[in-house]
Structure 1
Amino acid sequence: METTAGGLRERKKEATRTALHEAAMRLAVEHGLDDVTVEAIADAAGVSRRTFSNYFGGKEDALLYGDEQRMRGILDRFAARPPGETSWTALRAAFHDLSGEIGEPDPRWAAQTRLARAHPTVLARQLAHYATFERALADLIAARDGLPPGSTRAVVMAGAFMTALRIAALAWTEQDPPRPMAEVTDETLAAMAAPFA
């Protein structure tokens, strides 16, 4: 019974986080981030300002929550890949596993990416999130490849992968005509893996 209650509680918390994220996205796209307040986001999600503060430190965190979840999804899927794969192959497969589950990104995600580039506070928060995930990914790569923690190879591979995802996301937002996100990301990952010499 406690497990069921705990599971229900976690689902409710996740539903609240998602509602706040979606409200932040919608309001930022409609009105511009500078004109959106935490109170407006909380109102749009049907929760109190205090509840908002229980979930997010500010409107930037609420806005970037979907991006954070996608990054966590890649880490989880990478950790679950078969041990016989090279780390780079496992990273690409983790991206494809996640893409297959969530499908083509919502066009609002492109709007979020443009917001991040336009607002220093969002960009700073996004880069901090990416740095955190990059360190976690480097640790997973080192463990997978039997390397010491902080190994240059693991750090460089994690950095290359995260950089490729950032480049692909920006390229995807600027495609005209639009192309599938997975296709743009595959091209970027292939280019990143190719030697420069």
Structure 2
Amino acid sequence: MGIEVPMLADMAASVPPGLRERKKLDTRMALSDAALVLMFERGLENVVREDIAAQAGVSVRTFTNYFANKYEALAYRQIERMRRTVEMLRARPAGEPLWEAVTAAVLAPLVDDGVNRRPPTREQLAEAAKLTAVPEVYAAFTREVTGDLAAAVAARTGTDAERDLYPRLVAGAVVVAYQAAIEVYVRAEPPVFLTVPLREAFTRIAAGLPDPSA
């Protein structure tokens, strides 16, 4: 009786789905981290997908399987954090005021990732500022997170993410506040942690965005 050699497709099928998804997430994260490292080392305009793939130790084909361009790779870190925000928002206490829950859920992934351990350098902020001006980055962030965020808000508020305006308004406000906070963060003098303008943004929204000149 001969020994059967499994085909690659059979081997892939035998890998538990959870492990396959974990490997995909790890690859996405490695590519995103590589893109960020290169951006800070060389400048945004000098980063190309071939170098990102080499930095992450994968082929260019693997890169294109995960991201359409370098901007999607650079945006992924924030997208992944916002996905954790959605999970945390769903897990927040039911009786907690909405904007307190949103603030805690948005800030937690940043704190968990250690963004408050060391302030950014001015050189890093200069490169990050270039990134905020790229439409593809904002588009990728908005496309990937708004729907899931609206669904989480709907679950907390007893509304319908498909039919009701409220959860979509809240999700849109969160995304815009995040982007606005990043734009303030990259231009702050002296430099501050990203959590500072984010907390201020949500505090102002929760208060109804009062006119600061009044």
CA deviation string 1:112-170 (max 9, x = no partner): 6313234x3xx224234224412321222122211133422222222222222211111
- 1:143 aligned residue: 155
Q: What stretches of structure 1 of length at least 5 have no aligned partner?
A: none
CA deviation string 1:16-56 (max 9, x = no partner): 32222122122233333333321121122221111212222
- 1:68 aligned residue: 79
| Secondary structure at the counterpart of residue 96 of structure 2 | coil
**AA at the equivalent of 2:47:** V
Residues 25, 112 of structure 1: 8 Å contact kept: no
- 1:192 aligned residue: 205
Aligned residues: 193
- 1:155 aligned residue: 168
- 1:93 aligned residue: 104
Residues 85 and 4 of structure 1: CA distance in aligned 2, closer, same or farther (over 3 Å): farther
Work out whether 1:113 is the aligned partner of 2:125. no
Residues 71, 133 of structure 1: 8 Å contact kept: yes
Residues 137 and 16 of structure 1: CA distance in aligned 2, closer, same or farther (over 3 Å): closer
- 1:22 aligned residue: 33
Alpha-carbon RMSD across the aligned residues, in angstroms, is: 2.8
Residues 116, 126 of structure 1: 8 Å contact kept: no
| Secondary structure at the counterpart of residue 95 of structure 2 | coil
Question: For residues 3 and 85 of structure 1, what CA distance do their matches in structure 2 show?
Answer: 43
| Secondary structure at the counterpart of residue 189 of structure 2 | coil
Of structures 1 and 2, the one with the larger relative CO (CA 8 A, separation 6+) is: 2
CA deviation string 1:86-135 (max 9, x = no partner): 322211121233233223267387456313234x3xx2242342244123
Question: For residues 81 and 63 of structure 1, what CA distance do their matches in structure 2 show?
Answer: 29
Structure showing greater radius of gyration is: 2
| Secondary structure at the counterpart of residue 55 of structure 2 | helix
| Secondary structure at the counterpart of residue 43 of structure 1 | helix
Residues 132, 183 of structure 2: 8 Å contact kept: no
Residues 142, 148 of structure 1: 8 Å contact kept: yes
TM (normalized to structure 2)? Answer: 0.76
Residues 13 and 93 of structure 1: CA distance in aligned 2, closer, same or farther (over 3 Å): same
Residues 130 and 110 of structure 1: CA distance in aligned 2, closer, same or farther (over 3 Å): farther
Question: Identity of aligned pairs, percent?
Answer: 35
- 2:47 aligned residue: 36
- 2:68 aligned residue: 57
Residues 9 and 172 of structure 1: CA distance in aligned 2, closer, same or farther (over 3 Å): same
Q: What stretches of structure 2 of length at least 5 have no aligned partner?
A: 1-12
Q: CA deviation at 1:66?
A: 0.6
Question: For residues 202 and 50 of structure 2, what CA distance do their matches in structure 1 show?
Answer: 40
Work out whether 1:48 is the aligned partner of 2:59. yes
TM (normalized to structure 1)? Answer: 0.81
In terms of fraction of residues, the more helix-rich structure is 1
Residues 137, 158 of structure 1: 8 Å contact kept: yes
**AA at the equivalent of 1:148:** D
CA deviation string 1:53-76 (max 9, x = no partner): 222222111111111111111111
Residues 82, 106 of structure 2: 8 Å contact kept: no
Residues 72, 136 of structure 2: 8 Å contact kept: no
Work out whether 1:83 is the aligned partner of 2:94. yes
